Amino acid sequence: MPASPSLRPRRVVAAITAVALACAPIFATAEPPSVSDTLPQYGAVGPPPAAPITLPQAYPQRLPDLGDVSQTDFSPAQERKLGETIVRELRASGGYINDPEVNDYLNELGHRLTAASTDVKQDFEFFGVPDQQINAFALPGGYIGVNTGLILLTQTESELASVLAHEISHVTQHHMARALSAQKDSMLMSLAGLALAILAARGSSGSSGDVAAGAMAATQALTLQHQINFTRENEYEADRLGFQRLDAAGFDVTAMATFMQRLQSAMRFVEGSVPTYLRDHPVTYERIAEAQARAYGHPYRQVVDSLDFHLVRALIRSYQGEPREAVKWFDDAIAEHKYNNAIAAQYGLVASLLRTTDFARAKRELAKLEKMTPEHPMIDAIAGHVLLESGDVDGAIDRFGSAVARYPNKMQLVYDYPDALLKAGRNADAAKFVEQQLVRFPGDGPLQLLAARAYAAQNKQMLAHRHQGEYYAWQGNLKGAVDQLEIAAKAKDGDFYQASVVDTRLKALRREVADQNKSAFGRQGLDMQGATDARLPVLTGVKH
Ligand SMILES: [Zn+2]
C-alpha cells in the first residue's frame, strides 16, 4: 500500500501514481485491464522507439568535459551511482512503486536468492514498477526492477523467484559492464549523456526540481537499458546460474521452464507489440528445453508459497482499473473460487473496497478476513487503514501502534503509525516516534517527510525545514535541500545543538552540489573548466 506520508489517503496516492504513469512517455502503454481478463493487459501500443537524447531546455552554460569515453570503463562505484540516479528519477516520476509492502516483499524474496550463494559480492535493491507491461530489468549497480504486470503473470512464488534469479545472475556476471564495453562508443556515450542531462535538470531547477526533464532522461535511460544486447551466451549463463540460485534458495526448480512457457502463451494475447521482457529475453524452445532438462532428475520438491506472495499479488490487483471494477473482480473471483489463495482474495476485496470508500462493507469483509488468517503485518496495516479512513483515528492508532511493536521492520507500519498520530493532532508524539525511527533507518526519505510534517504542525521552523531539506536530498534534489537548510539556518527557534546540525549539513550539501557540478558521477578526467559550448553537438548528436 502506498504509504506516502502525505495527507492523501494511500488509495488516492495509488490512483495518482497510475495517472502520472499514464502521462509519462515511455509508460504510456499502460491501460486499465478489462475485469474479465485474469491476465494483465498489455497495451496495444508498443514502447516508443528510442528517442535521441534531448537535453533539458535550461541547460547549464558550461558543460563538463566527457573526456575520451571510449577509453574509460565504468567502475563498480560509478555503476552504482548511475543506477542510484536512475532509481531516484524513477521515484520522482512515478516509475517506482510507492508501496513499502510490495518493495519490502521483493527485497525479502530477492535477498533470499542472493544469500543462497557465495558469488554475490555486492548490494542489491529490488523494487516494483507500476506498469502493466511484462518486464523485469537490472539497472547498473545491482538495482532490479520488476513490473507489476510480471508479478501478476506469475502463478507461484518460485516462478517470480526464477525471474529475479535470472536478473541477479546478469548482475553477478557483470553482463551489463561487458555489454557496455562491447558497445562502448555508442552506449557508454549515451549513458554518460543521460547522466549529464539528469544532472543538468537537477542543477538548473528550483526547489521543486525539474521533474519532467529528469523523468524524461530516466525513461530514456531505461529505453537504453533495454537496448543493451546481452549475448546469447549471457542469456544462457543467466539461465544456468539463475537455475542454481533458485535451487540453492529452496524454490521449485521446475518453475523456470513453467514461467517461460507462461510467457510464451501470454504472447498470444499481445496485440501489435511484443512485451519488453520478451524482446530482451526471447523465449525459445531451446531455452525452455534447457530449463526442463536442468530440472529433470532433481527430486520433486513440494514448495509452499508464502502468504506474502499471494497478498502482494492481490494488493497489486486491487490497484487495477476503476475502484468498482476492482471490487467486482474480487467478488467474482471469490464467488467462482477462481483464486490461488482464499485469504489473499478476501484481502484484495477489502483493499478494493477501501478504494471505493465503502467503509461499511470494508469493515464486514475485514471481519471475515481476520477470522480466516493468523496475524500478519499486511492484515494489521489494512485493518488500521479501514479504521483510519472511516474516521476512527484513535482505533487506527491503537491498531498501528501494537502492530509496529510486533513488526518493527515493516516500513508500511513504521510510516502508518506516526501518520495516524499526526491525523489525531498528537504532533509531539509523532515527532518523538519518527526521531526514534530515524536512528534505526537513517536517511529514510518518507521518515524525513513525516518529521517535517510533525515539526511544521508544532510550528518548529528550524526542525521542519531541516527535515524537509533532508527529504529533498534523499530525492536527489540537492538544490532544493540547500534552499530548505538555508531557511532552517535563519530560523531563530532552534537550540545551539540543532543550529550546529543544520550548519554542518548545509556545508556538506553545498560541497555535494559543487562536486556534482564539477563531475558527472565522479568519472575520472571530467574537466569543468575546459568545457565549452562547442561540445554540445557531441552530447546531442548521440545515435543509438
Ligand atoms: Zn536475461
pLDDT tens profile 475-518: 888 899 999 999 999 999 999 999 999 999 999 999 988 877 76
DSSP tag of 527: B
Active site (catalytic) residues: 167, 239
User: Does residue 132 have a pLDDT over 90?
Assistant: no
pLDDT above 90 for 204: no
pLDDT tens, residue by residue, 259-318: 999 988 877 665 555 555 666 666 677 888 899 999 997 888 889 999 999 999 999 999
Query: 65 is written with which cell numbers?
Result: 568535459
Instruction: Report how far ligand 1's centroid is from the alpha carbon of 51 (Å).
Output: 23
For residue 448 the three cell numbers come to 524525513
Distance 282 CA to ligand 1 centre (A): 9
Distance 440 CA to ligand 1 centre (A): 36
Structure confidence at residue 1 (pLDDT): 59
Residue 153 above 50 pLDDT? Answer: yes
Q: Calculate ∠ Cα 283-221-242, nearest 5°.
A: 35
* Per-position b or e across 428-443, b if 16+ CB within 10 A of its CB: ebbbebbbebbeeeee
Under 8 Å between Cβ of 172 and 244:
no
Indicate if the pLDDT at residue 16 is higher than 60. no
What is the average pLDDT value for the chain, to the nearest integer?
Answer: 77
Confidence of residue 199 (pLDDT cuts 50, 70, 90): low
Q: Which residue has the higher pLDDT, 171 or 246?
A: 246
Most confident of 25-29, 229-233, 509-513: 509-513
For residue 104 the three cell numbers come to 519490502
Classify 331 as helix, strand or coil.
helix
CA distance 494 to 498: 6
Percent of the chain with pLDDT strictly greater than 70: 68
- pLDDT of 28: 25
Instruction: Supply the pLDDT for residue 298.
Output: 86
pTM of the model as a whole: 0.77
Query: In sequence order, what are the residues at sequence separation of 6 or more whose Cβ sits closer than 8 angstroms to the Cβ of residue 277?
Result: 133, 134, 135, 136, 147, 150, 263
Which 8-state DSSP code applies to residue 65?
A: B
332 versus 278: which is more confidently predicted?
Answer: 332
Higher pLDDT, 75 or 54: 75
What are the angstrom distances between the C-alpha of 255 and each of 105, 163, 316, 370, 483? 19, 10, 22, 31, 51
Cβ burial of 499 (10 Å; 0-12, 13-18, 19+) is middle
Ligand 1 centre to CA of 340 (Å) is 28
What is the rounded CA–CA span in Å between residue 198 and residue 217? Answer: 6
Cell 502482494 belongs to residue: 312
pLDDT at 76: 76
pLDDT of res. 138: 85
Grid cell, residue 456, equals 511544521
Give me ligand 1 centre to Cα 170, in Å: 7
Q: How many angstroms separate the alpha carbon of residue 30 from the centre of ligand 1? A: 23
pLDDT of amino acid 257: 94
**Among 40-49, 393-402, 423-432, 474-483, which is the least confidently predicted range?**
40-49
